[in-house]
Structure 1
Amino acid sequence: MKKSKITPLLFTLLTFIDISTGASNVFNVVSFGANPDGVTDSTAAFLKAWQAACGSAASATMMVPSGTFLVKTITFGGPCKSELKFQVAGTVVAPADYRAFRNSGYWILFKKVSKFSLVGGTFDARGNGFWACRKSGQSCPPGVRSISFSSANDVIISGVKSMNSQMTHMTLNGCTNVAVRNIKLLAPKNSPNTDGLDVQLSTGVTFTESTVQTGDDCVAIGPGTRNFLISKLACGPGHGVSIGSLAKELNEEGVDNVTLSSSVFTGTQNGVRIKSWARPSTGYVKNVFFKDLIMKNVQNPIIIDQNYCPDHKGCPTEHSGVKISQVTYKNIQGTSATKQAMKLVCSKSNPCTGITLQDIKLTYKKGTPATSYCFNAVGTSLGVIQPTSCLTR
């Protein structure tokens, strides 16, 4: 029996039809002119691929294949017509010259997207030159955030690796229902202001099974954050997990229902911190749960600081208006790099209330017990508390 033959041209056509008209259309950036050599500017090609994928009537995938792609400041704007996956197999790099960003404030921005997923890949912002400028005392640009989401809904971010951010690795601003999982945010310990994940004005965010090694906060939780769950986080080096700084503005939204659990802090400046400027504010922090945490040689394992005021400037009343209440610390164990393992310094005008310490075991050096210090902190202690609780009832 004579076998039918498929010519190369027909094979190509059939393949095109298969990937272009199926349930999930694939738009490969190389097909739009992107070059995987790491030198050629692929910004325009990425935008063309995005416009095609975003405009697809059926669910679509924008594909960044293996290779290294140079991309300058770019905005991927929505809303899109259907569900969209941004799949990265290769590496996306920023310009080596940090001055190329000028005053944009961001490198890669996803704006007004919904039913969207960012999956895989490495994003290298090559921040070394910018850090060197900052450390030299020269006049430098303000720096950029690596990956930003603004006004985004129903988003999944998975398997992403962000390296060497100039400033913050990843930001969520004004977002709803975002799942961030299995990602790595990496920068050297001495890189300035390189936060891992920053969240503000966002509701329903989860951050799980991830690693943050950076020069500033592993996670920074800003005003207007509600229903935020963090679990299975490996943090360090870095400055720990911080709610704040708050009270930057007089009229500020509060932080409500934040849970951090089953996480490890290694060699960080802080463990779990709530920080506010010592000035008036309409803000608040309530319903916060820190539980099942391990501290390994952490300088300030448990800390509330409502007297933040660098250089004693901008704090006319010298006390914070932020109201902190219903904060629970449960099953937190490990070692403190300083003798004072717990420091709860609350506002003179708005004392912290409803603080609960339960099953805390933090030690200093062998033979030298850790200590605690409280100021205007009211609450209860349950179980074994080491160092001894300093809360007032």
Structure 2
Amino acid sequence: MHFSGTDTPGTSPNTDGIHIQSSQHVSIANAVIGTGDDCISIGDYTSNIYVSSVTCGPGHGVSIGSLGRRGNFVQVENIHVSNVQFKHTTNGARIKTWQVGKGYVRRITFEYLKFDSVKNPIIIDQNYCSIRGACKEMPTGVHISNVAYVGLSGTSSTDVAINLNCSRSVACTRIVLESIELMSANMDRQVTSSCLNAHGNAIGVVRPDPCLQS
């Protein structure tokens, strides 16, 4: 599938540019998307999805999820996102799962992404719940594994450029950060990383300092 693009005001809620659900072997290429929600959202029961040469902004970025809202068994794998430019978006490369979910998100690649003043360039939120900021710890969770971030650069509009918020019960594993250089959009500030229960390796990360656990 090839899409020329969508153009919706950044203030318009629930206006995903493209949503993919219960689908396999889908390609999105050469698109310019501006919206009030996710530029591209990838839902459950999806595999072999390819996104390339996309410009996103305004919008909430390219999101896998949210997944597992009703406690269902999530099955998402083989997602490849490359050569995407994010311009003044809320998120860049995002994975979001509900605490009550089960199943897996695996074999995900985000590569050669460029960020221009993005609030959350790299973010995983595995602790999503109905009461934001007041989630009780639960023994369930969607296992996120084999996620690679390769060749990412640009600027963050917040101090935390890499935010990997994973579950204590079902931690994120085999995360790879490779060839990453993110700076602050504010000249007088420095960006940082925040990791919780995120395991993996970092290779050639210039900034911010990676915080993955081995």
TM, length-normalised to structure 2: 0.94
Task: Kindly indicate whether residue 92 of structure 2 is the aligned counterpart of residue 291 of structure 1.
Answer: no
Counterpart for residue 274 of structure 1? 95
CA contact (8 A) 1:265 1:295 kept: yes
Following TM superposition, by how much is the alpha carbon of 1:320 offset from its aligned partner in structure 2, in angstroms? 4.8
Q: Does 1:228 align with 2:57?
A: no
Of Structure 1 and Structure 2, the greater strand share is in 2
1:378 paired with 2:193, answer no
The answer as to whether partners of 2:90 and 2:119 remain within 8 angstroms in 1 is yes
Deviation at 1:383, TM superposition (A): 1.1
Give the secondary structure class of the aligned counterpart of 1:344: strand
Shift of 1:230: 0.1
How big is each residue's C-alpha offset from its partner over 1:7-48, in whole Å with a ceiling of 9 and x where there is no partner? xxxxxxxxxxxxxxxxxxxxxxxxxxxxxxxxxxxxxxxxxx
Distance 1:319-1:241 versus aligned 2 partners, 3 A rule: farther
Q: Which has the larger radius of gyration?
A: 1
Report deviation, 1:250.
2.2
Which one of the candidate residues 240, 247, 270 is aligned to 2:68?
Answer: 247
- Which residue identity does 1:266 align to in structure 2? K
Q: 1:320 to 1:207 in 2, by over 3 A?
A: farther
1:2-41 paired onto structure 2 within 5 Å: none
Q: Number of residues paired by the alignment? A: 213
Shift of 1:311: 2.3
Structure 1 runs (4+) deviating above 3 angstroms are 315-320
Q: Say whether the 8 Å CA contact 1:320–1:348 is kept in structure 2.
A: no
- Taking structure 1 as reference, are residues 327 and 260 closer, same or farther at Cα in structure 2, changes over 3 Å only? same
How big is the shift at 1:252? 2.6
Instruction: Tell me whether 1:208 sits opposite 2:208 in the alignment.
Output: no
Report the CA distance shift for 1:384/1:353 in structure 2 as closer, same or farther (over 3 A). Answer: same
Larger RCO (CA under 8 A, 6+ residues apart): 2
Q: Structure 1: where are the runs of 5+ without partners? A: 1-178
| Residue 303 (1) aligns with residue 137 (2) | no
Instruction: Note the 1:66-105 alignment, pairs <5 A.
Output: none
Identity %: 44
Contact 1:357 1:385 in 2 (8 A): no
Counterpart CA distance in 1 for 2:205 and 2:128 is 30
Task: Quote the residue 2:58 is aligned against.
Answer: 237
Counterpart residue type for residue 384 of structure 1: V
Partner Cα distance (2:31, 2:127) in 1? 31
Q: CA deviation at 1:310?
A: 3.1
Q: How does 1:26-175 map to 2 (within 5 A)?
A: none
SS at match of 2:89: coil
Alignment partner of 1:254: what SS? strand
The structure in which a higher percent of residues are helix is: 1
Letter in 2 for 1:256: E
**1:388 and 2:203 matched:** no
Superposition CA RMSD, Å: 1.7
Work out the CA distance in 1 between the residues paired with 2:202 and 2:127.
24
Cα gap change, 1:350/1:223 in structure 2, threshold over 3 Å: closer, same or farther?
same
What is the letter of the counterpart of residue 218 of structure 1? C
Secondary structure in structure 1 of the residue aligned to 2:131? helix
Using the size of structure 1 for normalisation, the TM-score is 0.52
1:337 matched to 2:122? The reply is no
Aligned match of 1:81: none
Q: 1:317: Cα distance to partner?
A: 5.0
2:9 is aligned to: 188
Gaps (5+ residues) in structure 2? none
Does 212-221 or 247-256 show the bigger shift? 247-256
- C-alpha displacement of 1:316: 6.6
